[in-house]
């Protein structure tokens, strides 16, 4: 069958400046973060349109889509691309009665920091474990979990909200 709601949430972290990030790693972030969302939409958008009874697609971007950080160029670029792709697809699907919401979480306590690759100059590599621990501690102290994102997604789908920042800081930038 065809689902009523599709949630595309693809994301790997990548920290490091553009000049320090190998091209293949930059491309990998784009392939996963943007490509995963695009492929999810390819798998379901046509089916939702052809069914003719509406439906909703939720694409998870990030506040990083509109909050540039020099130390996260690959990640921010990938999430900005998800944001724009979602805007374009929303315009295309609207006439068919298929909604699309772009979710832009801020600092959410998940494992993204522990799995983020850090590409830094040789002389700064010894600082990575300490910096990672510091950011993980900040995310945990923030105590804003995925359950709050899920609640925001459900509310946004019910209201057919085009873009939904999630967490206070996602509204501030």
Catalytic residue check, 144: no
Span of 21-25, 84-88, 102-106, 112-116 with lowest mean pLDDT: 112-116
Q: Rounded to 5 degrees, what angle do the CA atoms 37, 41, 45 make?
A: 165
73-93 vs 23-51: helix crossing angle, rounded to 10:
20
Residue pointed to by tokens 């998800």: 82
Q: Per-residue DSSP letters for 84-129?
A: HHHHHHHHHHGGGTEEEEEEEE-S--SSHHHH-EE---GGGGGGHH
User: pLDDT digits over 62-78, tens only?
Assistant: 999 999 998 889 999 99
Q: Residue 113: pLDDT band by 50, 70, 90 thresholds?
A: confident
Q: Does pTM top 0.75 for this prediction?
A: yes
Q: Which of 3, 4, 29 is nearest to 16 (CA)?
A: 29
- pLDDT per residue as tens digits for the range 120-146: 777 777 777 777 778 778 777 888 889
How far apart, in whole angstroms, are the C-alpha atoms of residue 161 and residue 143?
Answer: 25
Backbone φ, ψ for residue 108 (5° rounding): -115, 135
User: What are the backbone dihedrals phi and psi of residue 115, each rounded to the nearest 5 degrees, phi first?
Assistant: -105, 0
- Percentage of residues in the chain having pLDDT higher than 70: 100
How big is the CA angle at 101 (ends 92 and 151), to the nearest 5 degrees?
Answer: 160
20-66: pLDDT as tens digits = 999 999 999 999 999 999 999 999 999 999 999 999 999 999 999 99
Would you state the pLDDT for residue 38?
Answer: 99
Instruction: Give me the CATH topology for the region 5-172.
Output: Rossmann fold (3.40.50)
Catalytic residue among 66, 75, 144, 171: 75
pLDDT of residue 87: 98
> Which residues fall within 8 angstroms of residue 97, CB to CB, at 6 or more apart?
52, 53, 54, 55
């Amino acid at each position: 069958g065809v689902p009523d709601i599709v949630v595309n949430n693809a994301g790997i972290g990548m920290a490091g400046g553009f000049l320090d990030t190998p091209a293949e790693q930059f491309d990998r972030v784009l392939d996963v973060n943007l490509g995963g969302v695009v492929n999810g939409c390819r798998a379901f958008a046509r089916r939702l349109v052809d069914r003719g009874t509406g439906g909703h697609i939720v694409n998870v971007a990030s506040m990083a889509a509109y909050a540039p950080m020099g130390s996260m160029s690959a990640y921010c670029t990938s999430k900005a691309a998800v944001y724009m792709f979602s805007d374009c697809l929303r315009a295309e699907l609207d006439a068919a009665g298929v909604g699309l919401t772009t979710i832009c979480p801020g600092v959410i306590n998940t494992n993204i920091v522990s799995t983020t690759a850090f590409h830094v100059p040789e002389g700064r590599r010894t600082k990575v474990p300490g910096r990672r621990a510091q950011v993980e501690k900040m995310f945990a102290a923030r105590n804003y979990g995925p359950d709050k994102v899920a609640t925001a997604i459900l509310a946004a789908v019910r209201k057919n909200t085009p873009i939904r920042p999630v967490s206070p800081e996602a509204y501030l930038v």
